[in-house]
Structure 1
Amino acid sequence: MPSPTPPQSEQELLARAHAIAGFTLAQLAAKAGIKVPRDLRRDKGWVGQLIEWQLGASAGSRPEQDFPELGIELKTIPVDPKGKPLETTFVCVAPLIGISGQHWESSNVRNKLSRVLWIPVEGSRDIPIGERRVGMPLLWIPSAEENALLRQDWEELMDMIVLGEVEQISARHGQVMQLRPKAANSKALTRAIGRAGQPIMTLPRGFYLKIPFTHALLMRHFALPK
């Protein structure tokens, strides 16, 4: 079945997002004419792709927002019964070479997070995938404080990459955003800078938002219990 055309306005996008709230993933998959996977370990991006299809996202894996004409990124987020995110949120792949002189204002992280449409989805493992329901959408624009925290983490992590310390970066670095390996397997290596400035091969890295950051964001906007 052909996917819906991209929404022409923010209002149309939000109307589509509100229209799928309360539906199960099986109901949405039937509408799209696709099968529900048995588990998400092999189909990790399935839920996000299903929601993208429903809303008419057009960017795919390109380094721009999912709705480039509207300047809005789509993020599905699995939550527990109290609305707490069950995992960190992938933002984008981190550049590991040719990055000296990069600035926060022109970074892909800032571009991706400038306006985000969050779609919470039930994610508890005791709920079969097809029976998990989609929640109410939230269009989020970072506050000055949130933007400052994101910028601080991005600058710290990028400084470490430039200084050849990519392999010393752990998930503990960063207040609200972390850098983690992102690869299908341990053989998918990419070029980076070593401590002595020499080229090295390492796992690709991705920027991820930490759970406390996204949890606080959802709690504020949905008045969730602490």
Structure 2
Amino acid sequence: MIPAPTTEQELLDRAYALAGFTLGELASQRDIACPADLRREKGWVGMLLENCLGATAGSKPEQDFQDLGIELKSIPISHSGKPLETTFVCVAPLTGVHGLTWESSHIRNKLSKVLWVPVEGEREIPVSERRVGMPLIWQPSQEEEKQLKADWEELMEFIVLGKIHEISAKHGEFMQLRPKAANSKVKTEAYGANGQPIKTLPRGFYLRTQFTARILARHFLLSDSE
């Protein structure tokens, strides 16, 4: 195992050192099998990068580099550098949510500082041949945090009021809430409109591609409008 980085600069240096390598090359270096495709291996790229960078959190609900206060997020990008899919942040709490605030929320902690690692994501490129791009460390600006908080409050209000089934993909400007489960048989506790316990699919918070595209564009001076 690679020891955890002790400083932000050490983490960034490690991430820079991965840029230009293919996923297959990195997997080989770490003696990890590379899947033929990612349809059933959604978290494989993130797991590989965690392994290469010395992340400590694993599946625990905390930042990947807890001692540094930094979350790791891989982001599949197109040939033009645009994100190809939304970014999963964390599972949404569906019970015990009364009195929960954005300031004390798990998702705010996760997004307080993020190491983004772009990875080629075009489907026609075999997984083993997809290259890792240049990383960046990002913290939300006041404006970004304000909008993320507004989205979170809008989505959490549905949960608190027992209206989780009314949430659709159109809710939230930067962030959306979507089912997060390997299959439809996985169910979790939530509340119905009358406060009664119900069973529903777990939900996850996802950042929209237009939001992550803006982060990449500002950092790499790309145009985020097409």
TM-score (norm 2): 0.98
Answering whether residue 114 of structure 2 is matched by residue 112 of structure 1, we say no
Report how far residue 196 of structure 1 moved.
1.1
Report how far residue 171 of structure 1 moved.
1.1
Matched with 2:222 is 224
| Corresponding letter in the other structure for 1:216 | R
Show the 5 A alignment for 1:12-27: 12-27=10-25
1:90 to 64, 85, 88: 88
Asked whether the equivalents of residues 189 and 201 of structure 1 are also in contact (C-alpha less than 8 Å), the reply is: yes
Structure 1 distance, partners of 2:60, 2:118, is 23
**Partner secondary structure for residue 84 of structure 2:** coil
Matched with 1:124 is 122
Structure 1 distance, partners of 2:140, 2:66, is 18
Asked whether the equivalents of residues 86 and 211 of structure 1 are also in contact (C-alpha less than 8 Å), the reply is: yes
Matched with 2:62 is 64
Structure 2 distance, partners of 1:10, 1:98, is 34
Matched with 2:164 is 166
Report how far residue 108 of structure 1 moved.
0.5
**Partner secondary structure for residue 153 of structure 2:** helix
| Corresponding letter in the other structure for 1:61 | S
| Runs of 4+ with deviation above 2 angstroms | none
Cα RMSD for the two superposed structures: 0.7
Structure 1 distance, partners of 2:60, 2:151, is 23
| Corresponding letter in the other structure for 1:176 | F
Unaligned runs of at least 5 residues, structure 1: none
Report how far residue 62 of structure 1 moved.
1.0
What's the % identity of the aligned pairs? 65
In the TM superposition, what whole-angstrom CA distance separates every residue of 1:3-26 from its partner, at most 9, and x where no partner exists? 201001101000000000010001
Answering whether residue 42 of structure 2 is matched by residue 44 of structure 1, we say yes
TM-score (norm 1): 0.98
Structure 2 distance, partners of 1:64, 1:42, is 24
Unaligned runs of at least 5 residues, structure 2: none
Report how far residue 36 of structure 1 moved.
1.0
Structure 1 distance, partners of 2:42, 2:49, is 13
Report how far residue 61 of structure 1 moved.
1.2
Asked whether the equivalents of residues 82 and 224 of structure 1 are also in contact (C-alpha less than 8 Å), the reply is: no
